[in-house]
Amino acid sequence: MPYVIAHALAEDTRWQIRNGMRATDYDCLQGYWAVMGPTDYVLGRLLWETDATTEDLLNEFYSAFGPLGETVRAYYDYWEDFTARLNGAPLFADHKRNERKAAYPALYTEEAFSKAPALLAEADPVLATASTEERERFRNVELGLTHAELMVEALKAGKIMATDAGKKLMAFRREIAPRNGANVYFLTDKEIGYRLFE
């Protein structure tokens, strides 16, 4: 699911570095680049270059999208604002991870998703000017959004594998797995552990 905390995590990490942090072990970095890219990138780079500013690191991240960079920035900024509000929502903040998944349909609503495709569509006029690699990176972002939408539909329908929506989600995961824009194997394994497949 789109969950972007680049600025908050950078602020926390800087505080930790200033106060003597020597090593880390983050359980939030699980390979979901398509929906958490700025967060993963900023944290990884900040741990290497501890004096870098968050904005410099984000500029570096978005530059990898070439002429699509500003569109991708607006898209992830939208989700970062959403995530900031989400973290204060009782359905999210007051639940354990496995309970949060069941609450996703109430949190990631049609209204929340409705703005995202329009943000990505802003890239249409410049898409042809991007390199193949930049377009493929952008495509991963689009696929991440599609995956999130399918995930919510599957959760609305009930247990993931017992529904048509769940089967559609799993077929999509098999299709996108080789791209590695989202770690769908790890995600599926976690969901089995959360008993979402029974």
pLDDT of the chain, 198 residues: tens digit per residue: 899 999 999 999 999 999 999 988 877 667 788 999 999 999 999 999 999 999 999 999 999 999 999 999 999 999 999 999 988 888 787 877 777 777 889 899 999 999 999 999 999 999 999 999 999 999 999 999 999 999 999 988 776 667 889 889 999 999 999 998 888 888 887 777 776 666
How many independent structural domains does the chain possess? 1
User: How high is the pLDDT of residue 196?
Assistant: 67
Looking at the domain assignment, is residue 198 inside a domain?
no
In a domain, 172, yes or no: yes
Residue 56 domain flag = yes
Provide the domain limits for residue 71. Answer: 6-193
- Which H/E stretch holds residue 150? helix 132-157
Residue 93 lies in a domain: yes
Distances (CA, A) of 82 to 38, 88, 90, 123, 176: 14, 10, 14, 21, 25
How far is it between the farthest Cα atoms of the chain? 51
Where do we find the tokens 């495709």?
A: 117
**Residue 79 forms part of a structural domain:** yes
Domain assignment present for residue 62? The answer is yes
CA-to-CA distance for 103 and 94, rounded, in angstroms? 11
Decide: 11 and 43 in contact? Cβ < 8 Å: no
Q: What is the pLDDT of residue 197?
A: 64
Rounded to two decimals, the pTM is: 0.92
Q: Considering the domain boundaries, does residue 1 fall inside one?
A: no
Phi-psi region of 95 (alpha: psi -120 to 50; beta: other; left: phi over 0): beta
Collapsing DSSP to helix, strand or coil, 131 comes out as coil
Q: Name the region of 109 (left: φ>0; alpha: ψ -120 to 50; beta: rest).
A: beta
Residue 138: inside a domain: yes
User: How far apart are the C-alpha atoms of 24 and 67, rounded to whole Å?
Assistant: 34
Residue 128 pLDDT: 97
Planar angle of CA 6, 9, 14, nearest 5 degrees: 120
> From residue 91, how far is each of 26, 53, 95 by CA, in Å?
23, 33, 6
Q: Is 139 exposed, middle or buried (0-12, 13-18, 19+ CB in 10 A)?
A: middle
Can you give the pLDDT at residue 160? 67
